[in-house]
Structure 1
Amino acid sequence: MWILIGVGLLLIILGLMVHKLKWYFLISGYNTMSKKKQKNVDTDGLGRFIGMYSYINGCIFIVTGILFGLGIKSIVIPASIFLVISSIYLLLKSQKFDRNLFDDDDKFKKGAWKKFIIPVVVSVIVLAAFSIPMIFSSRSVSVTVLPEGIEIHGSYGGVYQWDQIEQVELINELPSIDRRTNGSALGSKLKGHFRTSESDDIMLFVDTDHPPYLSMKTTKGMVIINLADPEATTNLIKAITNNIN
């Protein structure tokens, strides 16, 4: 919650620095230009544009943090998507304020298109880096019962042999989660390594919108799982119990 609100406040402060205080040296690329080229940049227009980007995203993240604190975990996904898309738009659209790229007829100067190569490449990399993990993290947990144990598919998953499983039980609430140590937290979907308020390290493969949960004590540590269908979670615990008893 507080991290999201903090990010929102930081964005608004950065927007004020560039837009109102006119600290244009904070604009990437502008501060490395020669004095001559800097005179051909519409700094007032660029400052307003960056300011609007920062104010809008800052307010969205503050509201997202408040709603997250109220228990609406899934709000993080649309806020993050908007940030990525608006950042790519900012990266590409901000080029129009650089008059070094245009001639007197508002046409690209010869070779000016090369200036767009880096923004386009960066945009593609950012979009891929954001969307690929999100796609995998958003998938529902899938578990297969094998002759030798159970296999949890996807990121952070693995095979747990029957002789590694010491105890299983059905729980309706998760332990109090303090923080994520090495995993993904995409809305209500939590996968990977987390730490509880009691400083216990646990593995989570859950969707908090679909309790109950299967709590499994293993020789590797505590693992908590649930499936999209509550009945499927109940059937899974029955299958595990039959094989370890």
Structure 2
Amino acid sequence: MGILIGIQLIVIILFSLLGWAIRSQKNYWLISGFVTRSMTEQEELIKNGYPKKTGSLLIYTGIGMLILLPLAFTSFPFVIEVQFGFMLIFLMGGFVYLSKFEVSGKRKRSFWISSTLFVVVLGFVSVLTYLGYEKYDLIVKDEEFEVTGLYGEVWQLEEIEKVELMEDMPEVTWKINGFGLSTMSKGQFKVKGYGKSLLFIHKEAPYIYIRVSDQHIFLNGENPGETKKWYDDLSKNIDEVTGHKISSLHPETQIH
């Protein structure tokens, strides 16, 4: 959480400094594409108040994120989503509004471009968020098990080399390809002591660790009861397929 708060503070400071430099110090060259405009267009933009309003938009975005920052110190589970959701909507919505202050000959075109971009980006982020929070299940069959949903796969029970029910999740050090959300992690991550691992975890113990053909998998359910049921189902079918008790695959583990 400390790293995420640090990133948010950097973004807040960056927006505030850029907004101040544009609005108060008239560093209009910081506005994308401004210096490539003709002198006539630059003068019209300045007359319309476009540069100053751009600076104000950046400053207000930083202020809004600063107001929301204390949420990080509460138990609210969707802090990151709210922070960056606000940034996305307020900033891109602001650029749609700024199209009103474009040069007269490009005003309509600017409005449609910024509006279309807003809708496309918002739709794309919404779909990604939905996929990230999409529920996954562990389905155990006679000779295989499957994790459903995005990043899910099917593995053979006979290929399982180790299974363990863990009360503490090892430290996740880096996201490779996946979703690192406030209440869930899903996809490929680096895990300390295990290397590249496939995660399907909610931020609530316990966790099931499975090693299948040198692939490391960590997963759990939405609550401890569901996780324990998954573990029991997996244990039972492994016993039937391999003829070995699940405890022989992880003798160091104690189930609570």
Q: Cα gap change, 1:62/1:121 in structure 2, threshold over 3 Å: closer, same or farther?
A: same
SS in 2 for 1:205: strand
Of 228, 232, 242, which aligns to 1:238?
232
**1:122 to partner: Cα distance:** 1.3
1:9 deviation in Å? 2.2
In the TM superposition, what is the alpha-carbon distance from 1:136 to its structure 2 partner? Answer: 0.6
After TM superposition, the structure 1 stretch with the greater mean CA deviation from structure 2, 62-71 or 128-137, is 62-71
Q: Percent identity?
A: 24
The 5 A counterparts of 1:178-193 are 178-193=173-188
| Among 18, 23, 28, the residue aligned to 1:24 | 28
Residue by residue over 1:6-49, the C-alpha shift from the partner in whole angstroms, topping out at 9 and shown as x without a partner, is 22222222222212221112212433321112211146843443
Deviation of residue 61 (structure 1)?
4.8
Q: Tell me the secondary structure at the aligned position of residue 78 of structure 2.
A: helix
In the TM superposition, 1:212-223 aligns within 5 A as 212-223=206-217
Q: Residue 172 of structure 1 aligns to which amino acid in structure 2?
A: E
Three-state SS of the structure 1 residue aligned to 2:45 is: coil
1:224 aligns with 2:218: yes
Cα distance in 2 between the residues matched to 1:121 and 1:44 = 23
Which amino acid is the alignment partner of residue 186 of structure 2?
Answer: K
Say whether the 8 Å CA contact 1:140–1:227 is kept in structure 2: no
Q: Displacement of 1:116 after TM fit?
A: 2.2
Q: Please, what TM-score do these two structures have when normalized by structure 2? A: 0.80
- Give, in whole Å, the separation in 2 of the partners of 1:44 and 1:112: 12
2:164 aligned with 1:176, yes or no? no
Alpha-carbon shift at residue 126 of structure 1 (Å): 1.2
Which stretches in structure 2 are left out of the alignment for 5+ residues? 240-256
Q: Are the counterparts in 2 of residues 141 and 228 from structure 1 also a CA contact under 8 Å?
A: no
Whole-Å Cα distance in 1 between the matches of residues 22 and 182 of structure 2?
A: 32
Aligned to 1:195: 190
Give the 3-state SS of the residue equivalent to 2:146 in structure 1: strand
Change over 3 Å in CA distance of 1:145–1:199 after alignment to 2 = closer
1:8 paired residue number: 12
Consecutive aligned runs of 4 or more in structure 1 exceeding 6 Å deviation: 63-66, 69-72
Cα pair 2:141 2:237 within 8 Å, conserved: no
Q: Which amino acid aligns with 1:219?
A: S
Which letter maps to 1:235?
K
AA paired with 2:16? I
**Counterparts of 1:43 and 1:155 in 2: how far apart (Å)?**
51
Q: How many residues are treated as equivalent by the alignment?
A: 235
What RMSD in Å do the two structures reach over aligned CA positions? 2.6
* Secondary structure class of the residue paired with 1:206: strand
Counterpart of 1:155?
A: 150
Partner of 2:59: 55
